[in-house]
Amino acid sequence: SAVPFGLQIYSCTLPGVIAPGFDDGPWIYSEDILNRMEAAGIKATWFINGANKGNIYDYNSTLLRMVDMGHQIGSHTWSHKNLATLTADGVKEEMLLLEEALVNILGYFPYYMRPPFLSVNAVALQALKELQYHVIIGDLNTKDWQYQSESGIETAKKLFTDGLDLGRTIIEAHEQEEWTHGVLIDFMIQTIQARGLKTVTVAECLQDTQPY
C-alpha cells in the first residue's frame, strides 16, 4: 500500500469524494443506520470496538452486512482506551484483541484504525506502525458526542456543513449516540444528497485497494 503505516492521516487523496466514518459501535442503532444509508446509496467506514457500549460478538450479522454493502470496517481498539497512556505492549494488546475477534467473525482484520479520543503519541504510533496500521484522524469532526441534546445537535450539524464548505473529506461521528442516530445521520444523508457528493470508504478515498 502507498498509504503510510503509523502516521496520522487527515484527508482524502482522491479528489471529489468524502468518506463518512462512524466510531464506537457496533450498537443497537447500527442496523437502522445501515438501512438509511442503503436507501440513500451512501458508503461509510465503521471504526468499531470489541467491548465498548456493546459486545462485538452480539453483532456478527451487522458486521457481515457492513462488508456486504461495500462499507469498510476499521479498528477503534478493543476497549476504547486512550492509546497515548499505554505502553507499546498495551497498545498492541488493544489492537490484537480486536484483530482476533474480527478474524473469528469475518475471517480477516483491518489495516485501518482510528484512535479513541484521536489520541496517540510516539510510542503508540510506533506500535501501530509495527502492526501495520494506517492511523486515521480525519479533518471533519462533528464533535457530536459533545452535543447530545436537541439544541446541541444543531452545533454538530453546523460543524458538518462548515467542514464540507471548507472542502474537508474524512468525517468523524459516533453511531451509538442517541441524537446522532435520531437527527444527525439523516441530516448528513440529506446534505450529502443535496450537494451531490460522492461517498466512498476511507481506503477508497486514499486510493488503497487493501483495507484488510
pLDDT of residue 1: 60
For the chain, what is the largest distance between any 2 Cα atoms, rounded to a whole number of angstroms? 46
Q: Is residue 212 included in any domain, yes or no?
A: no
The count of structural domains within the chain is: 1
* Any domain includes 3: no
Catalytic site residues? 23, 174
Residue 211 belongs to some domain of the structure = no
Q: What is the pLDDT of residues 176-204, one digit of tens each?
A: 999 999 999 999 999 999 999 999 999 99
- The pTM of the full predicted model, rounded to 2 decimals, is 0.97
Q: How far apart are CA 167 and CA 2, in angstroms?
A: 23
Is residue 166 assigned to a domain?
yes
pLDDT, tens digit (0-9, with 9 covering 90-100), for 8-67: 999 999 999 999 999 999 999 999 999 999 999 999 999 999 999 889 999 999 999 999
Alpha helices in 7-151 (DSSP H): 30-40, 60-68, 88-105, 122-130
Distance between CA 48 and CA 116 in Å, rounded? 10
Containing structural domain, residue 150: 8-205
Residue 63 covered by a domain: yes
Q: How far is Cα 50 from Cα 135, in angstroms, rounded to an integer?
A: 18
Beta bridge partners of 141: 172
Model pLDDT for residues 77-99, shown as the tens digit of each residue: 999 999 999 999 999 999 999 99
What single-letter DSSP state applies at residue 7? S
In a domain, 2, yes or no: no
- Neighbour tally for 211: CB within 10 Å: 21
Show the cell assigned to 186: 439523516
The CATH number covering residue 123 comes to: 3.20.20.370
